[in-house]
Structure 1
Amino acid sequence: MSVTEMFSYIQGFLSADQDIREDIRKVVQVLEQTAREILTVLQSVHQPSGFKDIPSKCLKARELFCTVRNHTGELKTKFPVEQYYRYHEHWRFVLQRLAFLAAFVVYLESESLVTREDVAEILGIEVNREKGFHLDVEDYLAGVLILASELSRLAVNSVTAGDYVRPLRISNFINELDYGFRLLNLKNDPLRKRYDGLKYDLKKIEEVVYDLSIRGLAKELEAGGDK
């Protein structure tokens, strides 16, 4: 093979790779738009009137996740199965965002932590990497950490809306999350940095709970619960 032929072959490879990346980017852009739509729906729960309408907001978000599953199904076809991590950077951010949104919906519905398996099912993708397009463990954990930040904001807005019980439950939930993450030996730099932000979320929630305690609201609520 001559030098010219060799570089012509390489150019063909690069062109094919660029075509794949462009196809992936187009689908990811649509996924990002759908993620923004889901976030817009869920953001209304931070409004005083939104607390009364949480079930309908979650239902609407669930409907939008049907669109997400259609797009992830399309995304799977845009690259060779064995080259998942070659193109992972293209969808990593949006997948983390969607994992957070799925976790937020489940929390609003049941105040529990969604499993990685359930997130993968909501998004229409796999859990095991051997099966192809899957939810990476680190992407799932990043989504959970974004959830913690969102809940710290919800705790503050709950007080504004006159809901003094929710911040106490959020505090317990975030403390459990913090304990869980302490069990992990995180070596991934981006994930480790995001986890470091969890202590600030925890501090913000503790300040809300402390303020409720100072005002005597927390004791009143506990007494009411005992009765």
Structure 2
Amino acid sequence: MAENLKLKAIFSEFQKSLDTEQERREIIRTICREIDQLSREITTILQAIHHSEQAIPQACLKARELFAKTNEGYQKLVAAVPPTDYYKYQDHWRFTTQRYCFLVALVIWLETGIMATHATIAEVLGISAVESKIGFHLDIEDYLVGILQLCSELSRLAVNAVTRGDYNTPQQISKFVLEVNAGFRLLNLKNDHLRKRFDVLKYDVKKIEEVVYDLSIRGLLPRTEAAPEAGGAGAEAAGNEV
């Protein structure tokens, strides 16, 4: 009888632990749903960049306003997740955070033409940029996936820019994506999700290069930006650059 009471007490403690775990997961899921919904709204707003160059500043402004709300959501998430359990629950917000890395990076590129750093994106989201086993932070892999998503979106923008008569943006995108591609090639990526996502980048690079090449042979690029003709000063300059 005493043994049965002891077992009952042990399993009662197990049940309390399971209930606490379930409650925490439900809180995290609820917060993640709110954050994810905001990311979808921002994604919809930023689709305007593909239709009109004039719509870009307003789209970035609206996205910035929603980033502020996102920051509040991540603060709730930080409070809900025990410092030692970041990786235990990471799957709840991983893909949403990757999307945010892409969205923040896209807005910053549209505003400045440069790549958002890991620390900058972490600051916008209101979480730590320090990679640590303890505490809520912006995982470097999530950041890198977001940058790769940015390159895919910019390859789409390059095509749409041409259709509305903007021939400068594809050149800017080409230079940027080639630099990002060179940076990623410095990394020793294993055969995982990030590696597979990186493999898509070569198709983005090819797509953008085809756009710029087409503009070049049609004579739609400024003379200084067009591909140099064979021989002459142009070829000599190209040789000196190499």
On whether the aligned pair clears a TM of 0.5, the verdict is yes
Partner of 2:106: 104
Structure 1 residue 214: Cα displacement: 1.8
Partner of 2:172: 169
1:167 and 1:32 map into 2 onto residues whose CA distance is 30
Task: Please say if 1:41 is aligned against 2:74.
Answer: no
Secondary structure of 1:74's match? helix
CA contact (8 A) 1:155 1:205 kept: yes
Partner of 1:16: 20
Unmatched tracts of structure 2, length 5 or more: 227-242
Partner of 1:216: 219
2:208 and 2:85 map into 1 onto residues whose CA distance is 42
Partner of 1:143: 146
Aligned length: 221
Unmatched tracts of structure 1, length 5 or more: none
Counterparts of 1:1-227 in structure 2 under 5 Å? 2-47=6-51, 50-130=52-132, 132-187=135-190, 189-220=192-223, 222=225
CA-to-aligned-CA distance 1:91-143 (integer Å, 9 cap, x gap)? 00111101110000000001100000000111111111447211010010011
Structure 1 residue 204: Cα displacement: 0.8
The CA RMSD measured in Å over matched residues stands at: 1.6
Higher relative contact order (CA 8 A, sep 6+): 1
Structure 1 residue 220: Cα displacement: 4.1
Secondary structure of 1:194's match? helix
Secondary structure of 1:222's match? coil
CA-to-aligned-CA distance 1:20-53 (integer Å, 9 cap, x gap)? 1110000000101111111111110100xx2012
CA contact (8 A) 1:81 1:132 kept: yes
